[in-house]
Structure 1
Amino acid sequence: MRKLQFICLAAFAFLYSNTTFAQENEATNYDQGFRLGFGVNGGIPTDNDYRWSLGGDVRLQYDLSKRTSLTLTTGFTNLFMKDQNGVEVKDLGFIPAKAGFKAFVWEDQFYVLGEVGAGFAVTNGYDDTTFLWAPGIGYANKYIDISVRYEDYNKFNTNQVALRLAYGFKL
């Protein structure tokens, strides 16, 4: 697990440093601004306690340059539990609040994204908050954003691989 975290962090740092130098000249010619996106998420948890997840999100993105952006993401995610030895266990619903950095690395459409934040449990008697981090890769054009991410929830004792399909537009 620690090895995967280190590899994701190292890849993110390399890609960030690789794209930073190329942006100096084009940043002065780029119209900075905000974008707003609405997404649907589905995921497969990597442990045996949860069957699948489903959620929705809203992402505010501020474009620093043509290839770099800051993001704020929130929404709702539900982790659907498996029955434990014939005993029905309640699902876990939570609100994620994440800040991130997006860097376009190929043809201004393919990107890497790193997000960190917190997940606030809000359903079925769960009363916990977890640190979460989520590296991902994706494709975006003027309106459509499709991404795959790994998302780790420390205190919820799980993580997942999730697919996000979103519609976005410039504000």
Structure 2
Amino acid sequence: MKKSINILGILLVFLFSNFAVAQLKSENYERNFKLGFGLNAGLPFNDPYNFNLGADARLQYNISETYSICFTTGYNNLFVEDEGTNFGYVPVKVGYKTFIFSNEFYVMGEFGGAFSTTKAYNNNSLLFCPSLGYATKYVDMSVRYEFLKDFPVIKDGVADNGLGQIMVRFAYGFDL
């Protein structure tokens, strides 16, 4: 018990000092917006999907040198094997981005909704996306895991829900 209290105390001191340093850095930082346009490609983990292609637009508000809030939307198309009906959806996500290692590498978490554009399937889904990336002034490259909670899949020959996929994003961005 005493050991866990000591660990908790050390963790709180670390978090407080990190927050205090971030506040000092952000006082002289000029906050700004950034807009980016990206191309996405992905590999779904579940049948009947073969691959995913899409494009997106991301509006990013830089709170400080290391923290940003993001809004992302676009269009993705899941290609179905055996000449079935392809599955299109519009993701609408909000996220939080934290830059690490000299403000080029980042981790980001996004959540939101995926809205089906396929007439044969008229449902929507929750969407969760943790990602790792590298960004310069104009280029943004990232890898993310994307989970669509309510999209139809086939698991072990049985219809189910919950599509997981790995996505790669290449984007061009600029300050507004």
Gaps of 5+ in 1: 1-15
CA distance in 2 between counterparts of 1:139 and 1:107 reads: 11
Instruction: Tell me the equivalent position of 2:168.
Output: 163
CA gap of 1:121–1:67, structure 2 versus 1, over 3 A, is same
SS in 1 for 2:103: coil
Q: 1:18 to 1:48 in 2, by over 3 A?
A: farther
Q: Which residue does the alignment assign to 1:10?
A: none
Q: Which runs of 5+ in 2 are unaligned?
A: 1-14, 152-161
Tell me what 1:72 maps to: 71
In structure 2, the CA distance between the partners of 1:29 and 1:21, relative to structure 1 (3 Å rule), is same
Identity of aligned residues (%): 42
Higher strand share: 2
TM-score scaled to structure 2, two decimals? 0.82
With normalisation by structure 1, the TM-score equals: 0.85
**C-alpha distance in 2, partners of 1:61/1:75?**
15
| Counterparts of 1:25 and 1:148, CA distance in 2 | 31
Note the C-alpha offset of 1:108.
Answer: 0.5
The residue correspondences of 1:47-126 to structure 2 (distance < 5 A) are 47-83=46-82, 88-126=83-121
Q: Which structure has the larger Rg over C-alpha atoms?
A: 2
Residues paired across the two proteins, number: 152
Query: 2: CA distance between counterparts of 1:93 and 1:18?
Result: 46
Offset of residue 125 of structure 1: 2.4
Moved segments of 4+, more than 3 Å? 16-22
Aligned partners of 1:123 and 1:48: how far apart in 2? Answer: 17
Q: Distance in 2 between matches of 1:99 and 1:24?
A: 23
